[in-house]
Structure 1
Amino acid sequence: MVDVSEKETTKRMAIATGKVFFPKEVFSTLAEKDFLGAKGSIVQTAIIAGIQGVKKTSELIPLCHQLNLSKVQIDITPSDNTLEIKCKVSCTERTGVEMEALTGVSISALTIYDMCKALSHDIKIGEIQLEYKTGGKHEYSR
């Protein structure tokens, strides 16, 4: 791991996004049922899973620092045969939270896939990317 002990503690925030792409007929079926599947609420389950993933990032990514998180917010929005995922993570630490935000999106997307795979295996996960980060030496905005 990188030594961050000399870095300044600052408020850090990152936003990541991603999408789950569905075949048109599968998305229509899910939308008609208000995104309730055989296993329950697809969106709410994916949000909870994503939050859990954010909290476990340092266990999943070998060289990530363990962080005390201040806030995790995941929003999942239906749009044009896709579910769009946005994860915002913040903390006051010596290193950033972009890996946590990316992990939150990824775990949410995988959970959506798991809950919908009985309808089709032609579901695609993609466009997972960092949108914004602040609080460290390098600010970033896509």
Structure 2
Amino acid sequence: MALTHIDSQGHANMVDVTQKQATTRLARAEGVVRMSQSAFDAVIKQQNAKGDVLATARIAGIQGAKRCADLIPLCHPLALTKVSVSFELLPETREIRVLSECKLAGKTGVEMEALTAVSVATLTLFDMCKAQDPLMEIHGIRVLGKSGGKSGDWERE
């Protein structure tokens, strides 16, 4: 099997997508931050000393998606047409589920942008809550589904 990101001399290489057809592409991802009850309560009640934790994490996630190509060496810089970051509060497990969706009309997928949005948003949640709970856990970062492109559409079950 030929490696797509390696040139004929074995060097890292950004894939040439010049000849690919532009299509509408969408990817969704998720990640979870588990924290102490006191940290979770402070987020819900907007009593965190650093301010509005969810609003800050949302903006950070959006910015992360937009900067993906600056962070991941072989990613193409993309003209994203939509980035959303949302949160699901799970009181029974003291978790915040972070969801992202990235969309564009282009020649390459947006899975890495969706994953970067979730990663940066979860890291921001950690940063804003670490004074109250330095033992938080970030886990479950994964792509939930994608559409567009030659590999077709799929959804995680």
Give the TM-score band, short-chain normalised: over 0.9
- Tell me, yes or no, if structure 1 residue 16 matches structure 2 residue 40: no
Matched, 1:87 2:100: yes
Tell me what 2:69 maps to. Answer: 58
Partner of 1:6: 19
Question: Which residue of the other structure, out of 51, 65, 78, is the alignment partner of 1:40?
Answer: 51
Contact 1:15 1:101 in 2 (8 A): yes
In 2: Cα distance, 1:140 partner to 1:108 partner = 24
TM-score (ref. length: structure 1): 0.94
- Structure 1 segments of 4+ aligned residues over 4 angstroms from their partners: none
Whole-angstrom CA distance in 1 between matches of 2:86 and 2:17:
31
- Secondary structure of residue in 2 paired with 1:99: helix
Secondary structure of 1:85's counterpart equals strand
Report which of the two structures shows the higher radius of gyration computed on alpha carbons.
2
Q: Residue 43 of structure 2 contacts residue 53 of structure 2 at CA under 8 Å; is this kept in 1?
A: no
Q: Does 1:140 align with 2:140?
A: no
The amino acid across from 2:138 in the alignment is I
More strand per residue: 1 or 2? 1
Per the alignment, residue 69 of structure 1 pairs with: 80
CA offsets per residue over residues 7-43 of structure 1, 9 Å max, x none? 1100000000110001234323433xx2341111000
Identity %: 42
Report the equivalent of 1:99.
112
Counterpart Cα distance in 1 of 2:47 and 2:21: 45
Look up the SS of the partner of 1:40 in the other structure.
coil
| Alpha carbons 1:89, 1:101 under 8 Å: kept | yes
In the alignment, structure 2 segments of 5+ residues that lack a partner are: 1-13
Q: Deviations over 1:40-96 (max 9, x none)?
A: 100000000000000000000000000101101110121130111000000000000
Provide the rounded CA distance (Å) in 2 between the counterparts of 1:69 and 1:27: 32
2:123 is matched with: 110
Partner SS state of residue 95, structure 1 = coil
Q: 1 or 2 for the larger relative contact order (CA 8 Å, sep ≥6)?
A: 1
CA contact 2:27–2:143 (8 Å) conserved in 1: yes
Secondary structure of the 2:81 match is strand
